[in-house]
Amino acid sequence: MTILEKAFIGGRRYWGWIAFLVAIIAVAGVLYLWQLSYGLAITGMSRDVTWGFYIAQMTFLVGVAASAVMVVGPYYLHHYKTFGRITILGEFLAVAAVTMCVLFVVVDLGQPSRALNVILYFNPSSIMFYDFLVLSGYLLLNLVIGWFVLSAEAKSTTPPSWVRPLIYLSIPWAISIHTVTAFLYAGLPGRELWLTAIMAPRFLASAFASGPSLLIILALIVRRFTRFDPGVQAIQKLASIVTYAMLANLFFVAMEFFTAFYSQIPGHMNGLSYLFFGLEGHSRLTPWMWTSMGLAVVALALLGVPATRKNEGIVGMAAAAIFIAAWIDKGIGLVVGGFIPNPLDEITEYSPTAPEVGITLGVYALGFLILTVLYRIATAVKEEVEVGSRSQLERIGG
């Protein structure tokens, strides 16, 4: 794999960044060893709120991973040339994101050494089994596609013919990973906040807002630190996608509010009440939820007005705001909110503990490490190929 060696070529900033990430991973590793020996009691989870920060990150990152389809689909299916230089960044982001998803599930398991039981004794009626299958498959798909397309580019040739069907497969597969993850929640009879048919559509809308936002930020970083420019047009188009996706997401949230509060059914109202207004004096998450809404609205205004959208600096900030808003909504609000109130109408609130946050940061650092290495390879190849090879890209995309 000749393009792998490009990961080892870098200046002080590159290696400094990698060292920083490795340091975080090392600290998180020690914390995880503590969690393995003492138990998950070191987290803030409880008998009532049985999934917390770890699974929330997994849920959010599945969305980020799925969003690669937002650049791959238009480029390969509809020959949308503008995305020609950004597809590899999207695919590699998907690889890093799915890896983090799997890692977050592993750190959340009570008995991780038994994880293979999911394969050995699989249960075809368990959504978790299918989630495992589709996530692993998506990881492999994106890794293989990204690698072979990039390798071909590095050698100024076309990728092998079998790559194309894989690319086409990855498009519905991206939709499936997030739909299946939504099914984890949407089929549970006892959790009324989640028992809604629009859980999967909501997940997808939020994914297509958060993923491309991150991609915008990463593209801006890549342009700043390397000689590879994904293109002003591509970033503008991503901004449009983010805008419409976030609008759809907010629309879906509004729909949830309507059904809950117009019907006045307590089961439907309780979850949303806890999150946005507080319930029986418990309101730990309300500032977070309103911050999320505020960030989303401000960002949408900035992205909607042509004058501000043309300014890439503002686009970057709006993208960050949308990313954070989606992270709060899906990462914190949705997962924790589903457990409050509990099946006996009692409220146990949740906050992550310091070790929990530490381990979470470690997994993020590992994901960013993978992302850094993959992006290093991608940008190095692209930089070399840039000179007079635009026709090459058109051939691959056509």
Partner 1 sequence: MRADRRTFLKVAGLTLLGLGMRPAVNAFAGGAPRTALLPAGVSSPTVASAPQIATPLVGSRWAMVVDVSKWAMDAKDCIEACNREHNIPQFKDPKEEIKWIWDETFDKVFADDTNQYMSADLKEMHLPVLCNHCDNPPCVRVCPTRATWKDESNGIVMMDMHRCIGCRFCVAACPYGSRSFNWKDPRLGLDMEHLSSSFPTRTRGVVEKCTFCYERLAKGLMPACVEASKNRALIFGDMGDPNSEVRRLVESHYTLVRKPNLGTRPQVYYIIS
Residues that bind partner 1 (CB under 8 A): 38-41, 45-48, 50-51, 105, 108-112, 114-115, 117-118, 120-123, 125-129, 132, 184, 188-191, 338-339, 342-346, 348
Instruction: Indicate the residue among 4 and 265 with the shorter CB distance to partner 1.
Output: 265
* 323, 210 contact by CB (below 8 A): yes
What is the Rg, in whole angstroms, of the alpha carbon atoms belonging to the chain? 21
Phi, psi of 282 (to 5 degrees): -95, 120
Helices (H), 67-126: 69-72, 78, 87-108, 117-120
Q: Which is nearer to partner 1, 77 or 109 (CB)?
A: 109
Q: Which residue has the tokens 């499936």?
A: 176
Q: Under 8 Å CB-to-CB from 301, ≥6 apart: which residues?
A: 308
* Contact of 178 with 245, CB cutoff 8 Å: no
Q: At its nearest, how many Å lie between partner 1 and the CB of residue 357? A: 17
The distance of closest approach from Cβ of residue 1 to partner 1 in the complex, given in angstroms and rounded to an integer, is 31
Q: Which is nearer to partner 1, 345 or 394 (CB)?
A: 345
Q: Is residue 328 within 8 Å of residue 26, measured between CB atoms?
A: no
Residue among 332, 350, 360, 331 nearest 31 (CA): 360
The residues, any chain, with a CB within 8 Å of residue 103's CB and separated by 6 or more, are 363, 366, 367
| Residue 139 CB, nearest approach to partner 1 (Å) | 18
Shortest distance in whole angstroms from residue 181 CB to partner 1: 12
Residue found under tokens 């705001």: 321
Asked whether the beta carbons of 343 and 36 are under 8 A apart, the reply is no
Which CB atom, from 109 or from 354, has the smaller least distance to partner 1?
109
| Least distance from partner 1 to the Cβ atom of residue 284, Å | 15
Nearer to partner 1, 14 or 122 (CB): 122
Judged by beta carbon, residue 15 or residue 38, the one nearer partner 1 is 38
Instruction: Note if the bond before 74 is cis, omega within 30 degrees.
Output: no
CB 331, min distance to partner 1, A: 17
Note whether 63 and 154 are within 8 A (CB): no
Cβ atoms of 129 and 116 within 8 Å: the answer is no
Q: Specify whether the CB–CB gap between 208 and 245 falls below 8 A.
A: yes
Our CB check for partner 1 shows the closer of 127 and 220 to be 127
Q: Output 38 or 251, the one with its CB closest to partner 1.
A: 38
Cα–Cα distance, 346 to 272 (Å, whole number): 15
Residue whose CB is less far from partner 1, 5 or 346: 346
3-state secondary structure 280-334: CCECCCHHHHHHHHHHHHHHHHHHHCHHHHCCHHHHHHHHHHHHHHHHHHHHHHH
CB of 176 to partner 1, least distance (A): 18
Task: Tell me how far apart the alpha carbons of residues 15 and 48 are, in angstroms, rounded to a whole number.
Answer: 44
Nearest residue (CB) to partner 1, 286 versus 342: 342
| Nearest distance in Å: CB 187, partner 1 | 8
- Considering the complex, what minimum distance in angstroms separates the CB of residue 193 from partner 1? 12
Minimum distance from CB of 333 to partner 1 (Å)?
16
